[in-house]
Structure 1
Amino acid sequence: MQQIHDLLPFLIPLVIVELALLIYTLVDIFKHDHYKHGTRAMWLIITIVGMNFVGPILYFLLGREEN
């Protein structure tokens, strides 16, 4: 129990940043109709399943089409 308590100052900001990135990515996916690679459904699955930074980062690197 003490170990978890010691890690909380590091974990809380990490969880906040992760959730903010996830929400921003989901909003961006629903706003756009066209993607460089794949479909909306594919990017939703990748983003939600790969929630630990990997899914959203992959979307912004590979899926998001520049305006």
Structure 2
Amino acid sequence: MNELLNEIPWAAIVPIIALQFVLMIIALVSCSKDANTNGPKWVWILVIIFVNLLGPVLYFVMGRRSE
């Protein structure tokens, strides 16, 4: 098991994980502050949290209502 963890290219994976968490936090804050969204707000929160890297991007592209 230890050998398997040593073979993982952590230098490539850590920035992707950090980007995912930053996008998720920004999208959650934006969703909580927006008065109107395209669809129920609770659905967008679930999409942001559970659809990993694509969820926050989907929210920023489709979930925000342009005023």
The TM-score normalised by the length of structure 1 is 0.85
The higher radius of gyration belongs to: 2
Aligned residues: 63
1:49 shift after superposition = 1.1
The TM-score normalised by the length of structure 2 is 0.85
What's the Cα RMSD here? 1.1
Alignment correspondent of 1:33:
35
Alignment correspondent of 1:8:
10
Identical counterparts, % of pairs: 27
Alignment correspondent of 1:47:
48
Structure 1 residue ranges, 4+ long, deviating more than 6 angstroms after superposition: none
Segments of structure 2 that go 5 or more residues without pairing to the other structure are: none
1:66 shift after superposition = 2.5
1:40 shift after superposition = 0.7
Query: Which residue, 24, 27, 49 being the options, matches 2:26?
Result: 24
Deviations 1:7-55 (A, max 9, x none): 11001111111100000000000000101x211101001111102x111
Segments of structure 1 that go 5 or more residues without pairing to the other structure are: none
